[in-house]
């Protein structure tokens, strides 16, 4: 795949809810690319390593 064929990422809001995780409850907006198979959106917490299931489209912030 060439650079011109690379898909555009989707901004998603991801939140870890793992008990005792230092980032639990903190929402991060990240660029994500859809996967070819289910689940389409996949994320892992960088602090605790657990799979994140709270993944939603990021809502743009108005200036």
Number of H helices, E strands in the chain: 0, 5
**How confident is the model at residue 28, as a pLDDT?**
97
Task: Give the pTM.
Answer: 0.80
pLDDT at 2 over 60: no
What is the C-alpha to C-alpha distance for residues 42 and 9, in angstroms, rounded to an integer?
13
Beta bridge partners of 56: 13
Residues of the chain above pLDDT 70, percent: 89
Q: Is there a cis peptide before residue 44, judged by omega within 30 degrees of 0?
A: no
Give the tokens for residue 8.
């555009």
Phi-psi region of 35 (alpha: psi -120 to 50; beta: other; left: phi over 0): beta
């Amino acid at each position: 795949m060439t650079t011109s064929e690379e898909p555009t990422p989707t901004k998603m809001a991801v939140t870890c809810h793992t008990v005792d995780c230092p980032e639990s409850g903190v929402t991060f907006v990240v660029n994500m690319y859809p996967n070819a198979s289910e689940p389409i959106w996949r994320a892992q917490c960088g602090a605790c390593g657990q799979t994140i299931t709270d993944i939603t489209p990021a809502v743009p912030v108005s200036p």
